[in-house]
Structure 1
Amino acid sequence: MASVASVLLLSEAEFGCEHLATQPADFLSKQNVGFRISNVLKPKYACLSCSESFLHRDRKAHTDKTGHNFFMESRSRLLFCQGCEDFVYDHSLERLRSSTSENALNVAKKRRFSESSTDDIYIKSNANRRICAKQGVRGLFNLGQTCYLNVILQTLLHDPILNTYFLGNGHQQHDCTAQDCIGCAVAEAFADFNSTDKVEGFAALSLLLASWRSSSALAGYQQQDAHEYYQFLVDKLHASTDEHEENHDKGCPCFFHKTFYGKLRSSVTCDKCGNVTRTEDPMVDLSLDVQVQAKKRAMGGGGTSFTPTLGGCLESFTSPEKLMAGVYNCSGCGGTPQKATKQLRIKKLPAILCMQLKTDNAIQRYEHTFSVSEKLEGRIDFPMSINMLPYTTNPHSRVDKSRYIYDLSSAVVHKGKLDAGHYYVYCRQGDQWVLFNDDQVTAVTEADVLNADAYLLFYNLRSLAGAPR
C-alpha cells in the first residue's frame, strides 16, 4: 500500500500493536506461565496483569477500571489488546500458545527464538500494523466519468467516524436482504480499501452499479454533480439501517442520521406587528452563496485584493434578509401580505458538516450576465478549523465553545466548464494531507489544501463527547 509516511521501523513490526510495544520485555513470559484453558462453551478472556477471567461483554469494563489492556482468549490462547479492540500477534507468546504450560519451557529450550533466528527475521520483515492504524492510502480507478463518485467515496473512506462504523461491522452485509443496498456497497468499499494484501488502486464497481440501479438520473456515464451525489449517498445510507425513520421530524435514532443530519431553523418576523413564524427542516449540508462576497469585491468593498471567505459566506447565510410584501402573508395581521425579515440559523449541527460553495449554478461558481456565464476567478479563503457557534440559534450563549469547533477533513475541487470537467479531492490522512486524483495519489502540504479552489468542504466535529444536542 503506498505510504505517505516514512517506512516503519522493523522493531515496530515485532509487536502486534503500539500498546504491546510499550510493555517490558518479560511481560508475556511472566503472565502466561501456568495459564490453563477452561473447557467452557463461551470463550473467556484472562487478564494477563491480574489473572482474572472475563466474558467478552465484561472485558472493556475491566480495562476501564484497572487500565489492564491485555487478555488471553481461552480457546485459542490468542492475545487480545483491548486498546486496539482486536487480536494481535507476538512471537514470544506464540511459542507458549501451542504448548501446555507444563512443557512450555522445555519446548522453548529445544527451539530458541534468537534475534538472528530465521523465524524472527521473517516475522519482523513481514508483519504490518493493524488495519485501523495503517499509514497507507489507495486511489480509485475512474470507470468512465465517475470522478464525482470517487471524490465523495474518498471523503467517506478517510473519515474516522465512518471508519469506526464500517470497520466495526456497523452494517452487516451478510444479514442484509435489501436489493442493491447502498450500505452494503459502501461497506464493501471500506473493506476493499483497507485490504492489506492489495497495494494498487481499486474500483468501486459495486457502489457504482448500486447507485445506477437506485437512481435513473445517475445511470450512465455522463458527468454528475459531486454535491448531488453526496446528498443521494447520505439519504441511501440513512435508508439502509433497520432502525431509521423516514420522517426526520420524529428524531431518527440511526447512526447515519446522527452523523450527517443537522437541523436548520427559519424565522420570519413581520415588520408591521412583530409576529414571528418559525419552521425547522433537516439539513445534510449548507449551500453557501459566494456571489454576495464576489459582488462586494467587484464594488470595491475591501479593495481589489479582497478575497471571499468561508466566514463571510456563513455570515451572509445567517444574516437577516428583507422580504417584500407579497412574499409573506402574516397570520398576526389577518393573513394579509406584509413586509418581513427572514433569518436562517442552525438549530442542530451534525458530526460531519458539508458546505457547498455555490452560485446560481449547481456545478461550479459562475457569475451570470445577460450574455455570458463566466467562472468566478480566484479561490475562497477557508480555515483548517472553524467555530460554528456564531451561526447557531444561540450565538451568544455562555457555553463551552470547544463543543462547536470543527476541523477540516477534506476539500473537493472541480475544474472545467459548466457541462463538463473533472473532480479531485484533498483528504486528511492522519497528520498529513493527500491529493486523490482518481487512482493518482500525491502527498501535499497544508498550504496546498488552503490554496485550493474548493467546491465542497467537509468538516468534522472535534469533540464528539461534547457534541451539542
Structure 2
Amino acid sequence: MIVDPDEYVEPSDNEKDDIAIIDPDEPRPTPADDYEAIEELVLPPLDQQPPIIETVHHTWEIKNWQGLQKREHGPIFHAGGYPWRILMFPYGNNSDNVSFYLEHGFEDGPPDDFVCCLQFGLVLWNPNDPTLYTYHTAHHRFTKEEGDWGFTRFVETRKLHAHVWPGSSPPRPLVESGEANMTAYVKIVEDETGVLWHNFNNYDSKKETGFVGLKNQGATCYLNSLIQSLYFTNAFRKAVYQIPTQDEDTTTNSAYTLQRLFYQLQSSSAAVSTNELTKSFGWDTKQIFEQQDVQELSRKLMEVMEKRMKGTEAENVLPKLFCGKVRTYISCINVDYESRRVEDFWDVQLNVSGNKDIEASFRDYIQVETMDGDNQYFAGENYKLQDAKKGVIFESFPEVLHLQLKRFEYDIERDSMMKVNDRYEFPDTFDAAPYLSDDADRSESWIYKLHGVLVHSGDLNAGHYYAFIKPEKDGWFYKYDDDKVTKATMREVLEDNYGGEMPLLNGQVYDASQKPIIRHNSAYMLVYIREARLDEVLLPVTNADTPAHLQRKLEEEAAFKEARRKEREEQHLYLTVRVITQETYAAHGGHDLTVFDRSHDEDPAAAKSYKLLKKCTIRELIKVIGKDTGTDPRRLRVWFMVNRQNKTTRPDTPVLDYDQTIEEAHLKLAGSKTQELRLWAETAEEVDSNGDAVWPAHPLVKEGSSPSRSDEIVIFLKWFNVDTQSLVGCGHIYISSQSKVEELAPFILKRMNWPEDTRLKLYEEIKPDMIEPMKAKQSLKAAELQDGDIVCFQRATEGSGGSDGSDTTTMVSNGLNPRQQPLKSSDIIDDARLYYDFLRHRRLITFHCHPTRGSKEFNIDNCESFTLVLSAKHTYDQVAAKVGEKLNVEPTHIRFWTIALNTGNPKTAIRRTSNHTLVNMVSSSYASFAGTTIRSDALFFEVLDISLAELDTKKPMKVSWISEGVTKEEPLDILVPKTGTVDDIVSSVIKKARLEDEEKGRPIRVYETHSNKIHRELSRGHLIKDLTDYISIILERIPEEELAQPNGSQYIHAFHFHGDPTKAHSIPFKFLIFQDEIFSDTKKRLEKRTGIKGKNLEKIKFAIVKRSSYTKPIYLNDDDTLWDMLGDDDDQLGLDHIDKVRNTRTGMGDLFLK
C-alpha cells in the first residue's frame, strides 16, 4: 500500500514545496480548481513514454472532517473502463500523517486477470481558497494482488489543521470548517509490452512471451546474449541440428551440447542452464566467472561449428550465412597499376568514437587514403614509386551481418582500455549498397533489417550483458536478460541503447552548470539480416528438424527428472526395505552379513532393496520377496536386523505379526535409527504335510502359532578359503545353545561335503577388528553366542599353497569390485584372523600417470590407469614395489602425488618416509597439508630419472629462462644438488631447455629478482643453500653488445611499472648505457634489448626512478642524455607501460573452446 520511492515524484522533502505559497508581490499560484493546469503539474511526462489511453480527474468533497471514521472511501469514478475510488485514513495509517491512496472500486474484488497501468496525482485543497493545496504523484501497475497504491505520509496531521496554512492570505487552514476537497488525476496508459512497471514476482517468461531465457552461471551473461542471438538465427540453428552427433552424444562434444541447448530452448518451460555447453568448451570455474570478449567467443564458436559441419549437408551453411568478402587495394593514380587482396570476413568492426551512426562508421571504414610524398607506393620495377590511393571496399555482405561496435578502446592518456559511452545511432533499416564495390552484384537489394542488439551496461571492469532480438520477421523485439524474457518497444531497442547523455524530460537541454548524466548501457554488437533473405534466415524450425536421437534422449531425461520429482513428492508415502537373502549372503565376502551402502545391482552381495508403500503389510512384503527370489512365500519368514553396540548389524528376532504394516514394524524396531527397514529373509529347510514351514522355536514364538522344533539359536557360517583368499557365506544352522563348540564341526562338514576327518579352525566374528578363536570344549552359551552370530571356519591343513602344489594362487577382493591378480607365495594369508585384518585395511587405489612429469624413457602417452588392491598399512616402499612390479620399472624411481578432488589435477608430491603408510598418503591429514581436499582412492605417479634416495639430495627449484629480449619467459622446474652452486643451475637449465652450451651460444647471466626488480647478479660459485625461496631466479644470454663492454659505458638496472613505480611488473633486466648518447638512440638499443618493437615501444614512457623517491619518476625526452641524468649507482631505468601479459600471469589466458 505504501508507494515505492522510485515510482512517485514529490516536489521536495520539504512540505513547503508541496504547498502553494502566496506572496503579495508575486502572481498568485495556479488555483486547484484550474483542473487543466493542475493536471499538467501533477502528471508530468513519463520516462517510458507509453501511449495514453485516457486522462480523467475526479473531486471528492470531504465534509465534517472531525466526524470521519478511521478509514473512509470516496465515491467511485471510472477511468480506462475500470472503477476507482480514493481510500483515506484521516487520522493516519499507523503514522502521524493523513494517508491517501488510489484503489480499484470493484465491490466484489477485481477479476483474476485485472491489470491496469496508470499515472496518478492526488491533490488536497481548500474549497474556500483553491490556491491552498498540497499534492503527490506516482505511477503504478494495478493488479488483483496490488489493488491500491498511494501515500502513507501524505501530509502531517498537525499542519493540516493548523490555523495558518503556510502561504495563506488572509491566514487560514487547509482544512477549514471541517471541509476539504481531494482531486484525483488519473492517466491510463497502454501496457504495450505487458511488463510496464512490473515487479516480476512469479513472472513466467514462457507463458507471457512463448520464449525462455538462459541461467547465468556467474558471469556468463555475455554468453547468454550471444547464444540467444544465434538461436534465433533459425538457419544457424537448423544447420547445428544437421551435425551428426548420434555417435558422439557426450557432454564433451560442444556440437552435441549446443544441439541440446537449442532443443531445450525450444521445448523447455523454464530458463535453461548453459553448464553442459561451458563444460564442453573445457571451461572451469575461472572462465565462468570472467567476462570474455563476445566477438572472440563468436568467432571461435563459429570455427568449432564449421569444423564439425565439414562433410555434412550443412557444410557450407555458415559461410553462406555469416561470411562476406572485403577487398583491400592500392591503386596508382597516374599509372595503370593496382594491387588488391580479397579476404573473407565474419563480422565488421566499426569505430564508435568520432562517428554519429553506422552510416558514418561505414564511410570511415572505406575511406580512401592518398599515398604521396614520402609515403609513395612502390609499384614494382616498372613504375617505381607512385602516388596511389589505398583503401578497402566490400565486395559482398553476408545474409546475416554482425557489426561489432568498438565500445572498448585503448586510452593513451590513461594507458588502459576504457569504455566509449558516446551517443551512436543505428537504424531499424539501412542500405549497405553504398559501401559495395562498383562491380558488386546488385541484382537484389542490399537493404538490411535489424534483428538483434546486444547491449553492455556498466564499465570496462564490471557490467552486465543482455540482448534485444526479433525472433520473427514481422513480430516484436524481445529483451533477453539471462533467465527473463520480456516484450520490448522500439524505443527500448533503439534510443535507449544509443549511449551518450540521458535526455531530460519535456525536451529540456542541459545548461552550462549541469553535468550531463551519461547512459551506461549501450549497444556493442548489432545483428542485421538482409531483407531479401529474411524468409530463408528466419525459416521455421520444427521438432522434425531436431535429431531424433537428441529428442529421444532429452525426453527420456525429462521423464526421469519428472519421475524423480514425483518420487520426492511421494517419498513420505514409501519406505525402503533392505533384505538379506540366502543368495546375497552366499555372495558376500566381507565383514558382517552384507553391505548396505551399495545397490544390489552393482554388488550381488548387497542387500536387496524394495520400495513399498508404508501401508503394505509384512505378509505382502513376504510375497514380494518370494516372487523376486523364486521362493514359495510359505517357506519364508523375516527377522528384524538390529544395530548392536559393537556397530555390527545382525538378525535379532523373527517378525511374528504378519498383518502389521511395514511402517508399524519399523517404528516398533527398537534401536533403529535408519530411514529404512532392514530384514533377513529366512528360508525354511523343512515343511509339514500341508507345505507350511517348520520353524525352530524362539522365545518370542507363542505356542501353537506355527509348527516348531526345540529351542535353538541361529548361527551364520562363513568359510575362509585360503586357496582363493576369500570369505564365502555358507548359510546358517540351528543348534542348541547348550551344545559345545566342537559340535559345530559335523554341521560344517556336512554343509561343505568334506570328509569327516577334516580338521577345522573356528573363530567367532564379533566385529571387524575382533576375530576370536573358539574353544572346542566350551558351550555356545558359555561362549556367549546368540541369534545372528557368525562363526568363521577354515581347514587346518590349508595354507601351503594351491591345490596343484604351485607357489602362487589367486586372490579375489570380494565385495569391492572383484578382480584377480597373481600373488607371490609371500603374499598369501593362511590365517583367517590375518585375512580379516587385511579386509579391514584393504584399499582399492587407482593409479594414474602424472600428466606432465616423469622420465623421458617412460612413455606417459601410452600409460593407462590401473587399480591395485592394497593394504592401508602398506608403507611407501611397499606401495612403490607393487606399482613398480605392475609397470616393470624400478620402485626406487617412483614418486607419488595426491590428486585434488575439485580439479582432478596433481596437487602435492608425497614425501617418502619410513613410517609413511598408504592411509597417510590418501587421508585427510595429508589433504590438510596439501591445502585442499584430495581423493582417497587414487594417486598420480611419476617415474623419475633418478632414485628417490638421490632425489633427497637434490633441491627442486623454479627458474625462468628469458629469450627474445625479455618478452618471452619460459618457467622451468629443475633439480640441483643441495650442496651445489649456481653453476649447477646453469647446467640444469641448458639440459632441461635443450639449449646450446655456453661455448656454442653466448655466456649465460644468472640474477635474482624480487617484486619485479633486480636484487643482485649471482656468481657461478654462489652456493645453492644460500638462495632463498622467495627470490625469483632469472637466466638469460648476455647480449652481444655487453660481451666487449667499451670505455664510456656502464650498467643500469631497468624494470617495468605502470603509472606508479611501486606497481612493478614483467621481467627486469640489466642494460648498458653509453656516455654522450642521446635518448632517441638509446631507445633504438632498448628496442633490440627488450624485444619490444614498433607501436608497443612507442607506448612506453621511459623514466629515471630513484630509490629514495620511487613515487616521483623523472620522465625522459628523446634529446635527453641518460648518462648525464643519473645521480648515483642506485638510480634505475623505469619503463612505464601497461602490463600486456598480466592476464597470462594471473591465469586469465586467452579464451579457448574445445
Report if TM-score (shorter chain) is over 0.5. yes
Q: Supply the distance in 2 between the matched residues of 1:406 and 1:261 (Cα, whole angstroms).
A: 15
Tell me if 1:208 matches 2:278. yes
User: In 2 relative to 1, CA 330–179 (structure 1 residues): closer, same or farther, beyond 3 Å?
Assistant: farther
Shift of 1:224: 0.5
SS in 2 for 1:229: helix
Matched, 1:462 2:536: no
2: CA distance, partners of 1:189 / 1:407? 27
Q: Which residue of 1 aligns with 2:234?
A: 160
1:434 aligns with 2:478: yes
Partner of 1:173: helix, strand, or coil? coil
Check the 8 A contact 2:251/2:257 in 1, yes or no: no
Q: CA deviation at 1:135?
A: 5.8
The aligned counterpart of 1:239 is: 307
Cα distance change of structure 1 residues 418 and 279 upon mapping to structure 2, 3 Å threshold:
same
CA contact under 8 A between 2:452 and 2:526: conserved in structure 1? yes
Which one of the candidate residues 416, 428, 449 is aligned to 1:407? Answer: 449
CA distance in 2, matches of 1:466, 1:426: 20
2:338 to 276, 280, 283: 276
User: Any conservation in 2 of the 1:138–1:439 contact (CA below 8 Å)?
Assistant: yes
What do residues 393-441 of structure 1 show as CA deviations (whole Å, max 9, x unaligned)?
A: 237876332xx22211111111222233221111113301111111122
Residues 363-402 of structure 1: matches in 2 within 5 Å? 364-366=407-409, 368-371=411-414, 375-394=419-438, 399-401=443-445
SS at match of 2:272: coil
Aligned match of 2:351: 289
Instruction: Please state if 1:229 is matched with 2:303.
Output: no
Contact preservation (8 Å) 2:396, 2:440: no
Structure 2 CA distance for aligned equivalents of residues 356 and 325 of structure 1: 35
Distance of aligned partners of 1:165 and 1:371 in 2 relative to their CA distance in 1, 3 Å threshold: closer
Contact 1:273–1:333 (CA under 8 A) maintained in structure 2 = no
Question: How much identity, in percent, do the aligned residues show?
Answer: 24
Rounded Cα–Cα distance in structure 2 between residues aligned with 1:390 and 1:288: 16
Q: 1:187 aligns with which of 237, 241, 259?
A: 259
The amino acid of 1:151's aligned partner reads S
- Cα 1:337/1:224, change in 2 over 3 Å: farther
C-alpha distance in 2 between matches for 1:152 and 1:412: 8
Contact 2:351-2:361 at 8 Å conserved across structures? yes
Q: AA paired with 2:527? A: F
SS at match of 2:276: helix
CA-to-aligned-CA distance 1:303-355 (integer Å, 9 cap, x gap): xxxxx111111111112123467777523356966553222112232121100
Residues in 2 aligned to 1:138 and 1:415: alpha-carbon distance in whole angstroms: 22
Structure 1 residues 284 and 140, CA gap change in structure 2 (3 angstroms): same
Relative distance call for 1:202 and 1:319 in structure 2 (3 A) is: same
Residue deviations 1:175-216 (CA, integer Å, cap 9, x gap)? 448994332222111111011xx3211111222122236xx9
The match for 1:59 is none
Q: How many angstroms apart in 1 are the aligned matches of 2:258 and 2:450? A: 22
Contact 1:262 1:348 in 2 (8 A): yes
**Aligned residues of 1:268 and 1:342 also touching (Cα < 8 A):** yes
Partner residue of 2:215 out of 125, 132, 141: 141
- 1:74-113 mapped onto 2 (5 Å cutoff): none
The corresponding residue for 2:325 is 263
Are positions 1:254 and 2:316 aligned together? Answer: yes
User: Over alpha carbons, which structure has the higher Rg?
Assistant: 2
Q: Which amino acid aligns with 1:442?
A: T
Q: Whole-Å Cα distance in 2 between the matches of residues 334 and 422 of structure 1?
A: 57
CA distance in structure 2 between the aligned counterparts of 1:320 and 1:337, rounded to whole angstroms = 18
Residues 343-386 of structure 1: CA deviation (Å, up to 9, x unaligned): 2112232121100111xxxxx34573424765433431111122
Over the residues paired in the alignment, what is the CA RMSD in angstroms? Answer: 3.3
Higher normalized strand content (fraction of residues): 2
The aligned amino acid for 1:158 is F
- 2 CA distance for matches of 1:178 and 1:332? 56
**1:356 aligned residue (390, 401, 404):** 404
Q: Which amino acid aligns with 1:153?
A: I
Query: Are residues 231 and 315 of structure 1, via their aligned partners in 2, closer, same or farther at CA, if it must alter by over 3 Å?
Result: same
Q: TM-score, normalised by structure 2?
A: 0.24
Match of 2:244 in 1: 172
More helix, by proportion: 1
Q: Which runs of 5+ in 2 are unaligned?
A: 1-207, 498-521, 537-1154
Write the letter of the residue equivalent to 1:264.
Answer: V
- Structure 1 position 463, deviation (Å): 2.2
Gaps of 5+ in 1: 1-133, 245-251, 294-307, 359-363
What secondary structure does 2:225 align onto? helix
- Mapped contact 2:452–2:469 kept (Cα < 8 A): yes
Look up the SS of the partner of 1:414 in the other structure.
strand
2 CA distance for matches of 1:135 and 1:285? 30
For the 8 Å contact 1:275–1:330, the answer to whether it is kept is: no
Q: CA 1:324/1:185 → structure 2, altered by over 3 Å: closer, same or farther?
A: farther
- 2:411 partner letter: H
Q: 1:204 to 1:397 in 2, by over 3 A?
A: closer
Residues of 1 paired with 2:372 and 2:280: CA distance? 45
Whether the aligned pair in 2 keeps the contact of 1:325 and 1:338 (CA below 8 Å) is no
Aligned to 1:417: 459
Asked whether the 8 Å contact 1:325–1:340 carries over to 2, the reply is no
Provide the rounded CA distance (Å) in 2 between the counterparts of 1:324 and 1:365.
33
Distance 1:228 1:324, change over 3 A: farther
Following TM superposition, by how much is the alpha carbon of 1:459 offset from its aligned partner in structure 2, in angstroms? 0.9
